[in-house]
Amino acid sequence: MRHVRSRALPASLAAVLLSIATLVAATDAGAAAGRYAALGDSYSAGVGAGSYLSDSGSCKRSTNAYPYLWKNAHAPSAFSFVACSGARTGDVLNNQLSVLDSATTLVSITIGGNDAGFADTMQTCVLNSESACLSAVAAAKSYATTTLPGKLDQVYTAIHSKAPNAHVVVLGYPHLYKIGGSCIFGIGDTKRAAINGAADTLDEVIAKRAANAGFTFQDVRGLFTGHEICASGTVWLNSTTLPVDESYHPKAAGQSGGYLPAFTAGA
């Protein structure tokens, strides 16, 4: 067997490889040293996912929520988790932005669903007639297209002002229902389709305003496909449940399987 002698790398190639290794190491170190702030509503707080932090009170921030999971995986130098159950755009402006500053490098947020009347619309659709449901959905969609854009602009402008050096990831909302799926208890396909249509309208508005602000929008609808309420596979969303405020929110599997990958891809 012929012996093949190893050869030393040319000095120029060795220098290039060393430069690449140094750049990669610096990039990894920079990512680890980042300052991350998680803002928004119950979908970012992790309501419905269990394992709530004792100091979060009625905000119900969960250790199973995507911001907390991302923090565990990436070990940022600072982590501010202020997303809160029931938050609207005004709550973000008044109660959450104080954690941001020029040193903040990464921000995540879900917001807009409560402004558009998500909880009230769901209650109407579950408890009342089809016509009442369709009227409630139409009102929510009208709000989303006429009033919500201005409110989102205020939030996004304020985030950029407080954290001018941050990369901001805005996440949307999933479809709640599998159309044609089977549930022992639940609402019919007409109501399900209307509710999913409201999510589409909301996501379209949020995506446009985020893009206009120069932020990254991450759509979670595709990731949740096949995992909606009434789907035949593993369901990632709570249906009507107790406590009531956890209804129609992602379970722990929805946070880890849907929101975390979407946020990671955008971050």
Catalytic residue among 42, 62, 80, 247: 42
Told to judge if 249 belongs to the known catalytic residues of this protein, a careful annotator would answer yes
pLDDT in tens, 213-229: 999 999 999 999 999 99
Q: Has residue 28 got a pLDDT over 90?
A: no
Q: Has residue 91 got a pLDDT over 50?
A: yes
Three-class DSSP labels, the chain: CCCCCCCCCCHHHHHHHHHHHHHHHHHHHHHHCCEEEEEECHHHHCCCCCCECHHHHHHCCECCCHHHHHHHHHCCCEEEECCCCCCCHHHHHHHHHHHCCCCCCEEEEECCCCCCCHHHHHHHHHHCCHHHHHHHHHHHHHHHHHCHHHHHHHHHHHHHHHCCCCEEEEECCCCCECCCCCCCCCCCHHHHHHHHHHHHHHHHHHHHHHHHHCCEEECCHHHHCCCCECCCCCCCECCCCCCHHHCCCECHHHHHHHHHHHHHHHC
Catalytic residue among 62, 80, 108, 249: 249
pLDDT value for 205: 98
Q: What is the pTM of this model?
A: 0.87
Told to judge if 42 belongs to the known catalytic residues of this protein, a careful annotator would answer yes
Q: Has residue 3 got a pLDDT over 50?
A: no
